Every structure is written in structure tokens, then in C-alpha cells.
Chains A and B, each alone.
Chain A
Amino acid sequence: MTFSNPAPAAVDTAAARRRRRADGRRTLNSNAPSHRGDARLAWILIAPAGIGFLVFAVYPTIRGVYFSFTDYHLLSAPQWIGFANFIEMFQDQTFWASVLVTVYFVVIAVSLTLIISILTAAVLHRVTKSTAVRGLIILPFLISGVVAATVWSWMLDAQLGIVNEAIRALGGQGIQFLTSRQWAIPSLAFIQVWKNMGYTSIIIFAGMQTIPASIYEAGRIDGANERQMFFRLTLPLLRPILALVLVLNVIGAFQVFDIVSVATKNGGPANASNVLQMYIYQKGFGQFDFGYASTMSLALFVILIIITFLQMRLLRANESDNA
């Protein structure tokens, strides 16, 4: 008796433990009743983000669309005026000039950024995998647009800037980089390229590293030279990533503000660099015409959606030629 006693007890506890463990497993199953506590906790955990989402993303989006159909000068309540703002916008010379200036900026900045970044990524991929080198070229990404614009304002200064000193030393004529109508946008685009090319290169470089070496080996066996492999293998295989960096750069460039605000003093000279975001800001916060500013924001949003959509379609971003 005394000998057999501990045995059943041991069996009992083992069985109980097994049962408890089984119960525990069941709590991880969504059908179990004890799982109901999860839902309450889940809503508590997503509450801050959910409130932020509703209050600072959904509500302002709806409200922004509403404002664009109103006459709203911040001090009195918005007055519904239908499409009046849109009609005004279509007839507003400054708006169209601003669209042109922005597109000009985007085209220069994005095409240069992409060409330089693809080249840089390809070169990095071929000659060095050094993280230090990649670290150096993303430095401009870490500093603010305000800092970048301030430094380049000094370097591109018409009288004393080192760039103009160098041009003169080489026998050229000094250029009014940021103070002439002709050069303001190209100069701003150059600052944008300087700031973004390293960042974009790193993303493209990371994409290149995912291309298996065997593909290049196969290409080499088939007698392809370096250039053919770059255009026939690397670029097509990179298409999804190229689409991504293209979209990111276009969206970023369309909303350029800080470098314009600092380097050409709010869109100067004489509106030559009055990009859309600057015009919206001046309408809203210079003249407190919030209705009209919202209408232009909505227009910029629609432009961005259309461009993004077209780019994704043209580049068939979802499929690389790999598949």
C-alpha cells in the first residue's frame, strides 16, 4: 500500500499537468472562450494608434476635401461655395506657373538622382561592398533640407561662393545660381539631387545584391559583356525597386519645400522657384485663404495619385522579369 501510493499520485499530477497544458494550448486557439479577453486587450493596445489614425489622418483628409469647396479664412466658419475655388484655380496664372516650375524641378531632380544613383549602385556593386563607402554617401540624407540649403547657398553664392570662384578660376563667367530666374530651379534641383542620391543608391544597391550571382555567370557563359549584362540583366531584374525609388523620389520632389524656403527665400527670385507647396503655404499662411490653399492641396494630391499610378503601370512594378 505504502509503496503503491506515490505512483498514482505521480500519475495524477502528470495527467493534470497534461490537461493544464492542453487547456493552455486551447487558449491560443481563437475559438476558445478564454480568448475573448484578447479582443478587449487588442482594442486597448491599438487605441492610441487608432485615435491618431482617426483624428489626424481620416478626419483631416475628409475635412481637407470639404475645405476645398469653401471660402474659409480661418477666423470665420467655412462657407460652402461649390466649385468656385476650382474655377479660380484653373484661371490662376500663378498656379499654372507654379505647376510648371514644380514639374521642371521634379524632372531635373528625379532624372539626375536616378541616373546617378543607378550608376553609383552599379559601381559599388562591382568594385566594393564596403559599408564604410556606403555610409559616406548617405551622409547628406541624415541632415535636414534646411542645413543642406544653407550650406549650398554659401557654396553657390554669386560673389564669394566656392563654386563660382572655381568657375572663374577655370576661365568661366560667374553664375547667379540662386538669384537669377534662369538658374534658380536647376540649382535647387541640384541640391535635391545631392541630398537624395546616396540614399537612393543604397536602396538600388541592396536590390542588386539580391540578384543571384548565377544569373551573371550564365550571362558570361553566353558571351555577354559587362554593358550587355547591365542593360539586359541588372536593369530588368531591378524593375520593382526602380519603380519604388522612382515613385518615392517623384512624390518627395513634388512636395519640395524646405530647400526652396531657405535657399531662394520663399520661391524667389520673382516667383522663379515658387513651387506648388510654397504657393500653397503662402496662400494658406500668408493670405489665410485656407479654402483655396486646400483646393490646391487636393489638386497636388490628385496629380501625385495619377503619376504614381502611371509609373506603376508603365514599369509593371509588381513583376520583375525574373518570373
Chain B
Amino acid sequence: MTTATATATGKLVLPAATTRKRRRPASPGRVIAWVYLTAIILITLFPFYWMLRSAFSNNYAMIADPTSPWPVGFTLGPFERVLGLATTQQSLAEGGSGASVPILHYLGNSVVYASLSTACMVFFSLIAAYAFSRLQWRGREFVFSLFLAALMVPAILTLLPNFVLVKELGLLNTFAGMILPTGLFSAFNIFFLRQFMLGLSTEIEEAALLDGAGRLRVLFGLTIPMASGPIITLSILGFIGQWNDYFWPLLVTSDASVQPLTLGLAVFKQSSPQSQPDWAGLMAATIVAALPMLILFMVFGKRIVNSIGFSGLK
């Protein structure tokens, strides 16, 4: 009886579905849907285009012609200014402020900060996740639930005391002070990797243990390579997060020697003159700041999209 209805519905539905499909291009609903989607994509992408257009413009000429869709008085000047390649005269001539912004230096700091803290975060989460998923020890579930509880506490409550602690440890204006709080412990990463490892078949690892391999050799030789997918995903997401981090570095650094690019860019923006900011230079600097993320996106776009979708399904 049930099968009969099932096939009956199947027969009923299939032709309907195919006629729908054939009629689709003409349906007004679909046209509206595409118009809406196009509008959303345009709104999303336009600022990126405007960034490019302005960054290749002569700041003086651009102020005279603010609506031109193309770079006004095409020049590489803004990039030369923010990368410190232009002389003061050159930069003043194109509407720069004349002050030098060591963007490349900030960029280097960002690379160190984001990659070190991501590497620490993922590695320490990885070995902890192994202990939580593969080893038998008393208190395992209890410690794990304690760790998970940390997900509930928003950063706002710990930021000020953590600043005080880093100050007391004498780690203000050091990479260690910037990295330690996020680098050592990440409840989300531990949870994510533990779930993955629990879902992984243990047969190969057990076989290796039987053959006399030590736990550590199994961890580094087998478990970690088998978990490379989620490791890459977490590394990318972690790197994006750290690269864009602003508030914590703002608290613990005051010295340009360790400050990341987000801070450098904010200083550049906040210190621009009210009357005639160097918008072209600012846009060039934002491109330098965004470029590593855009490259990451071009290489790992599909993985990023899928992992974001997945993060909602847990």
C-alpha cells in the first residue's frame, strides 16, 4: 500500500517537476530572484571595486572628479606612498599627507602574529583533542565539559583582566603577550577536532599500536595526517580571525614595532586630516591589508564556504 502511494506520488510529482523546470526561465518569480541576487552581489562587490578604483587614482584629481567609475589620473602613487617608496615631495604632489606609514612593517607583524597564533592554537588543540578522543584517563569527560563551558564566556569579560595579567607578566608590546591568550587554548578548535577524531575509524591506529608503535608516533604519524582536512580548515579560519583581530592587539600593544596591520590602518585612518584625507592612500593601504585574505580566498574559497556552512550545522 505504502509503496503504491510512493510510486504514485513519484509519478505524479515527476512530470510536474519537469514542466516546472521547463517553464522556469519565464516565471516572474525567478526573474525577481535573479534581480535580487544580482543586487546583493553588486552591493557586496562594489566596495571592493571602489577600493581598487580609488587606490589607483591621483588623490587631488579624484577629489575634483569623485564620480568617475575609472581611476582618476591613473597612478601607482598611493601604493608607493603607503609602501614607503615615494619621497615626501612626490606624495604631497599627489595629495598624500607627506607623513610616512610603515605599512610593510605592519604587514610583517601581522604575518608573524596571525601565523604564530594560528599554528599554536591548532597544534595545542590537536594534541588535546587526541587526549580527549583516543586516550583513556580518569576525569576525561569532566575536563572536556569544563573546557566547553569556556565557550559560554564572551571575550568581553576576560579582556581587561587578561590585559592586566599580560602587563604583570611584562609581556606588553611583545608577540608572546599578543599570542598566548588565544594561542594556548581554543575551546572551539578542541571540540571540532575531538568530534572529527571520534568519527574517524581507529583500526589503522590500533594496528600500529599492536605493531609496537608508541602513542606519540601514532599521533604524529597517523592521526594528524588523517585529520589534515579539518586541520587545514581550522587553520584557514583561525588565520582569517587573527589577521583581522583588532581589539586585543589594541589593548596590549602601543609600540609600532609589534603592532599588526589592522592597528596600523586604523592609526592611518584616524590620523588623516579632517579636511582633505588621503583617500587614495587609504584605499591602497586597505588593499594591502585585504590582499592576503583575498589570495587565501582564491586558493581555498570552496573550503571556506563549505566550512562556514558546516559551522551552523553542528
Contacts and interface: CB of A to CB of B under 8 A. Distances in A.
Question: Chain B: interface residue count, which band?
Answer: 35 or more
Contacts of B250: 261
B244 A143 contact: yes
Contacts of A61: 153, 157-158, 161
Interface stretch (B80-88, B140-148, B227-235): B140-148
B265 interface: yes
A57 interface: yes
Interface centre among A42, A149, A155, A160 (most CB of B within 10 A): A42
Contacts, number: 307
B26 interface: no
A38 B215 contact: yes
Contacts of A16: none
Contacts of A45: 127-128, 130-131, 135
B70 interface: no
Interface of B: 9, 12-13, 16, 29-30, 33-34, 36-37, 40-41, 43-45, 47-48, 50-51, 54, 63, 66-67, 124-125, 127-128, 130-132, 135-138, 140, 143, 146-147, 150, 153-165, 167, 180-181, 183-187, 190, 206, 209-210, 215-216, 240, 243-247, 250-251, 262, 265-266, 269-270, 279, 282-283, 285-286, 289-290, 293-294, 296-297, 301-302, 304-306, 308-313
Leading 6 A-B pairs by shortest Cβ distance:
A52-B184, A52-B185, A206-B309, A203-B312, A144-B244, A60-B161
Contacts of A145: 244, 246
A198 B251 contact: no
A298 interface: yes
Interface stretch (A88-96, A124-132, A315-323): A124-132
A97 interface: no
B147 A49 contact: yes
7 contacts: A39-B137, A51-B184, A67-B161, A146-B244, A205-B309, A217-B13, A297-B159
A194 B43 contact: yes
Interface of A: 20-21, 24-25, 27-28, 30, 35, 37-39, 41-43, 45-46, 48-53, 55-61, 63-64, 67, 74, 116, 119-120, 123-124, 126-128, 131-155, 157, 160-162, 165, 169, 194, 197-199, 202-207, 209-210, 217-218, 220-221, 226, 241, 244-245, 251, 255, 257-258, 261-262, 265-266, 277, 280-281, 284-285, 290, 293-294, 297-298, 300-301, 304
Interface residues of A, dominant DSSP: helix
Nearest to B190: A49
Nearest to B189: A49
Given A59-B165, A203-B309, A142 B296 contact: yes
B154 A255 contact: yes
Given A41-B215, A48-B124, A265-B270, A140 B44 contact: yes
Contacts of A280: 156, 160
Given A24-B209, A221-B13, A38 B135 contact: yes
Contact of B131 (A20, A46, A137): A46
